[in-house]
């Protein structure tokens, strides 16, 4: 009887821990989604297609936002500007999985892939995500 009681207690504890983790993940995903949506609303109101790369980067700096530039959303396209806006649960083979607002540009002058021209024009903003530290 005593052994059966402790087995039930342990099973209850395991099931409770699994349920708590599930609830935590759902709440975290909802909070991440809300943060991402709020960021996109803010950027869509303040950064319009046709703005130059310099104007976009100056706005981001004025807001105190760290950004990075990454090649290339499509072959032959100029570098995109990325801002981290959220973080999702990462799969086991990655250490982090971030959500980014990606600002894509069209070239205003001949493309030199190593150069980021301040005159490139903002084409669109979209969400992208990507794993960091993946195997």
Q: Which residues contact 8 (CB under 8 A, 6 or more apart)?
A: none
Query: Diameter of the chain by CA atoms?
Result: 81
Tell the residue number behind the tokens 């909070």, with chain if given: 31
User: Tell me, what's the pLDDT at 36?
Assistant: 83
Q: Tell which residue, 91, 86, 111, 89, has the closest CA to residue 34.
A: 86
Contact, 87 vs 99, CB < 8 A? yes
User: Tell me, what's the pLDDT at 64?
Assistant: 93
User: Tell me, what's the pLDDT at 115?
Assistant: 64
- Tell me the domain boundaries of the chain: 2-132
User: Tell me, what's the pLDDT at 103?
Assistant: 92
User: Tell me, what's the pLDDT at 59?
Assistant: 94
pTM of the model: 0.73
User: Tell me, what's the pLDDT at 99?
Assistant: 87
CA dihedral 123, 127, 128, 131 (to 10 degrees): 150
Along the chain (135 residues), what's the average pLDDT of each consecutive run of 10 residues?
84 86 84 83 88 93 91 79 86 84 81 71 86 76
User: Tell me, what's the pLDDT at 96?
Assistant: 83
Q: Based on C-alpha coordinates, what's the Rg of the chain?
A: 22
């Amino acid at each position: 009887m005593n052994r059966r009681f402790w087995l039930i207690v342990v099973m209850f504890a395991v099931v409770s821990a699994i349920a708590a983790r599930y609830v935590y993940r759902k709440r975290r995903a909802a909070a991440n989604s809300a943060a991402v949506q709020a960021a996109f609303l803010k950027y869509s109101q303040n950064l319009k297609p046709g703005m130059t790369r310099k104007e976009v980067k100056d706005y981001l700096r004025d807001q105190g936002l760290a950004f990075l530039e990454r090649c290339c959303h499509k072959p032959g396209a100029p570098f995109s500007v990325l801002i981290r806006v959220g973080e999702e649960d990462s799969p086991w083979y990655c250490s982090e999985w971030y959500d980014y607002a990606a600002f894509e540009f069209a070239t205003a002058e001949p493309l030199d892939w190593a150069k980021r021209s301040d005159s490139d024009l903002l084409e669109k903003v979209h969400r992208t995500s990507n794993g960091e530290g993946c195997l």
